[in-house]
Amino acid sequence: MRKIGVFVCHCGLNIAGTVDVKRVVEAVEEYPGVVFATDYKYMCSDPGQALIQKAIADHELDGVVVAACSPAMHEVTFRKTARAAGVNPYLTEIANIREQISWVHEAEPDAATVKAIEIIETIIEKVRYDEPLEPFSLPLVKRALVIGGGIAGMTAALHIADAGYPVVLVEREAQLGGKMGQLSSLYLNFDTAPDLLQSRIEAVTRHPNIQVLTEAEVTELGGYVGNFTAKVNGSEPFTFDVGAIVVATGFDLLPQSELGEYGGGRYPDVIDSLQFEHMLAQGEIRRPSDGTLPKEVVWVQCAGSRDPELHKPYCSKICCMYVAKQAMAYKQRVPDGQAYVFYIDIRSQGKGYEEFVQRAMTEYDVLYLRGKVARVFAEDGRVVVWGVDTLSGKAVEVQADLVVLATAAVPSAGARDLAQRLRVSTDEYGFFSEAHPKLRPVESLTAGIFLAGAAQFPKDIPETVAQASGAAAKVLGLFAQREMVQEPTIAFVDEELCAGCGLCVAACPYEARVMHPWKPIAVVQTALCQGCGACVVACPNKASSLHNLATEQLLAMMEPVL
């Protein structure tokens, strides 16, 4: 018979203010198998942990129940505490009497106390049937795959390669560089984009640890974190194993043809911002229609962004800054020209960013008009822009020579298909989803696949480089382990009972269940199993089971609450 200790935490008044902890201790002390029970103000504090360890030694406990906050908070803490005192960590369980009881039943202390007792008894039953387990290890391939050869992908690849690990960098186009390769100069210092980029491209192509595959795409991905198998097409298709993946596929601009209200795709002298970058890079600012020098140039910000009715509801984030840069670059080349910028708000959040936009207004006399553009049309050889200046409350008409649309940034073509091949989720617009918006912004929800740059959401270069460095750090963190450690609380198959019907294979949402290559039974791919239990329910023979959540164990756990 297991000797179980129960430790009831007050969590200050968080629990003890509602639940009568003394009554709880008195009740569970009497429960079969419990040899020791006590309460304490803060069980997670050092004295609290010492109390647990002392009780383990004094009463020779081999099972521990801590009645406290959610296991998401301190399960790890208490398992470590108990292990140090000689109890297998999987024989230490948490009864959540804070989030599930005291916090939600504040108005009913009596009922809350009864419920706390029942929940603790449930967990006592669980510990009674728990088996001692050890995490198991899986091999780890210390090679990374980086998808996308723009500044994001190259940055991530360089960091990983510099740390000594091989990297395969896959780029769809013939050249590395991505969108940054299409830029002329960069804010805030008008650095020449090609120069900056060239140093990165050279570092990548010369790096002994980086293998660059251009005009190539990832066509298939199998396996799991630490053990992916990727197939790449291209001049010579090949298949290779990697342990981690960085997705850095970047963005595209919303096609101009979708912006009919701004004359997009209809008038040659209405262009998008990348076309204007191209002109700046070539050093020749000319109207596409007749090759003349444009003297009146209008930038339309939020063209397709912040437009929930017709286009994208989100802010594309990068446009305010590059429009200021483009307008200044234009004025540097055409000092007697007039630059106009229609804007909703100026979003210049970054070190030196606001000052930069102010320079555009004051030093370069770029005319900023706060208001939306209603319509753009061509008449008498000019492009007429109708808009409103909401500061003066007047309708504005500009007879322009050239209109530059700061079109919305959207995920790069094919991103959704790639996401499906990688089994990575995307948001409603097709940007790759991060695992947590605040705490895990460089990870995807798929273990071992990380995100860098505008593939996740529009970002400028410094932000992209920062995220790419973060993604590389996550990859290196993974590679720093000797092997992959996997939780042992997963499913297993009793070969004697398994009839090989395959129902569990279809039921598994993680592709963790396959048929044995020659025996008529199903087997668990331990690295993929998340312990959800779908296979246990699906199995008609009860051959599927979960470690430490066995069917008979669950039934025993239900006893106290019935």
Partner 1 sequence: MKTSYFPGCTLNTTAKGFDNALRASFAALGAELVELPEWNCCGATFPLLVDNMLDLAAPTRVLLAAQEQGDRLAIACTMCYNVIRRTNNRLRADADALEKLNYFIEDEYRGGVEVLDVLQILRDDVGFDAVKAAVKKPLTGLKVAAYYGCMVLRPPAEVAYDDPENPRALDDLLVALGAEPVEWPHKAECCGAYLAVKSQEATAEMSYRILSSAQRAGAQAIVTNCPLCQFNLDKQQLDMGHQHGGYNPIPVLYFSQLLGIALGLDTTDFGWERHYVDARPMLRERGHFA
| C-alpha closest to that of 451 among 155, 162, 231 | 155
**Shortest separation between residue 399's beta carbon and partner 1, angstroms:** 13
CB-CB contact of 312 with 254 (8 Å): yes
Nearer to partner 1 by C-beta: 23 or 266?
A: 266
Among 236, 379, 428, 496, binds partner 1 (CB under 8 A): 379
Q: Is 261 among the residues that bind partner 1 (CB under 8 A)?
A: yes
Nearer to partner 1 by C-beta: 398 or 527?
A: 398
Q: Is 266 among the residues that bind partner 1 (CB under 8 A)?
A: yes
Q: What is the dihedral of CA 343, 349, 355, 359, to 10 degrees?
A: -30
Nearer to partner 1 by C-beta: 315 or 385?
A: 385
Q: Is 380 among the residues that bind partner 1 (CB under 8 A)?
A: yes
**Shortest separation between residue 189's beta carbon and partner 1, angstroms:** 39
What residues numbered 465-524 form the site for partner 1, per CB under 8 A? Answer: none
Contacting range for partner 1; rule: CB under 8 A; set: 127-135, 176-184, 372-380, 422-430: 372-380
Contacting range for partner 1; rule: CB under 8 A; set: 100-108, 329-337, 373-381, 408-416: 373-381
| C-alpha closest to that of 292 among 403, 404, 380, 401 | 401
**Shortest separation between residue 385's beta carbon and partner 1, angstroms:** 12
Among 44, 384, 388, 501, binds partner 1 (CB under 8 A): 384
Residues 6+ apart with CB under 8 A from 287: 268, 269, 293, 294, 401, 402
Contacting range for partner 1; rule: CB under 8 A; set: 175-183, 370-378, 449-457, 541-549: 370-378
What residues numbered 312-351 form the site for partner 1, per CB under 8 A? Answer: none
Q: Is 260 among the residues that bind partner 1 (CB under 8 A)?
A: yes
**Shortest separation between residue 269's beta carbon and partner 1, angstroms:** 13
**Shortest separation between residue 267's beta carbon and partner 1, angstroms:** 10
**Shortest separation between residue 553's beta carbon and partner 1, angstroms:** 49
Please report the sign of the dihedral spanned by the C-alpha atoms of residue 553, residue 558, residue 559, residue 560.
Answer: positive
Q: Is 307 among the residues that bind partner 1 (CB under 8 A)?
A: no
Q: Is 388 among the residues that bind partner 1 (CB under 8 A)?
A: no
Q: Is 372 among the residues that bind partner 1 (CB under 8 A)?
A: no
Nearer to partner 1 by C-beta: 380 or 496?
A: 380
Compute how many other C-beta atoms are within 10 angstroms of the C-beta atom of residue 203: 16
DSSP letter string, 126-193: HHHH------EEE-----EEEE--SHHHHHHHHHHHHTT--EEEE-SSSSS-GGGGG--EETTTTEEH
Q: Is 378 among the residues that bind partner 1 (CB under 8 A)?
A: yes
Backbone angles phi, psi at 245, to 5 degrees: -135, 135
Nearer to partner 1 by C-beta: 104 or 395?
A: 395
Q: What is the dihedral of CA 84, 86, 87, 89, to 10 degrees?
A: 40
Contacting range for partner 1; rule: CB under 8 A; set: 41-49, 222-230, 333-341, 374-382: 374-382
Contacting range for partner 1; rule: CB under 8 A; set: 177-185, 260-268, 286-294, 538-546: 260-268
* Burial (CB count <10 Å: 0-12, 13-18, 19+), residue 12: exposed
Contacting range for partner 1; rule: CB under 8 A; set: 18-26, 259-267, 459-467, 501-509: 259-267
Distance of CA 397 to the CA centre of its chain: 44
Q: What angle do helix axes 151-162 and 461-479 make, rounded to 10 degrees?
A: 30
Contacting range for partner 1; rule: CB under 8 A; set: 180-188, 218-226, 258-266, 439-447: 258-266
CB-CB contact of 271 with 316 (8 Å): no
CA distances from 60 to 8, 53, 54, 89, 522 (A): 19, 10, 10, 15, 40
Can you tell me whether residue 96 is helix, strand or coil?
strand
What residues numbered 90-149 form the site for partner 1, per CB under 8 A? Answer: none
Among 136, 377, 492, 510, binds partner 1 (CB under 8 A): 377
Q: Is 12 among the residues that bind partner 1 (CB under 8 A)?
A: no
Number of chain positions touching partner 1 (CB under 8 A): 9
**Shortest separation between residue 262's beta carbon and partner 1, angstroms:** 9
CB-CB contact of 88 with 113 (8 Å): no
Nearer to partner 1 by C-beta: 372 or 440?
A: 372
Contacting range for partner 1; rule: CB under 8 A; set: 378-386, 471-479, 504-512, 513-521: 378-386
Question: CA 6, CA 123: separation in Å to the nearest integer?
Answer: 10
Question: CA 349, CA 460: separation in Å to the nearest integer?
Answer: 11
Helix H segments across 185-262? Answer: 193-206
Question: CA 366, CA 358: separation in Å to the nearest integer?
Answer: 10
Question: Can you give the binding site for partner 1, defined by CB under 8 A?
Answer: 260-261, 266, 375, 377-380, 384
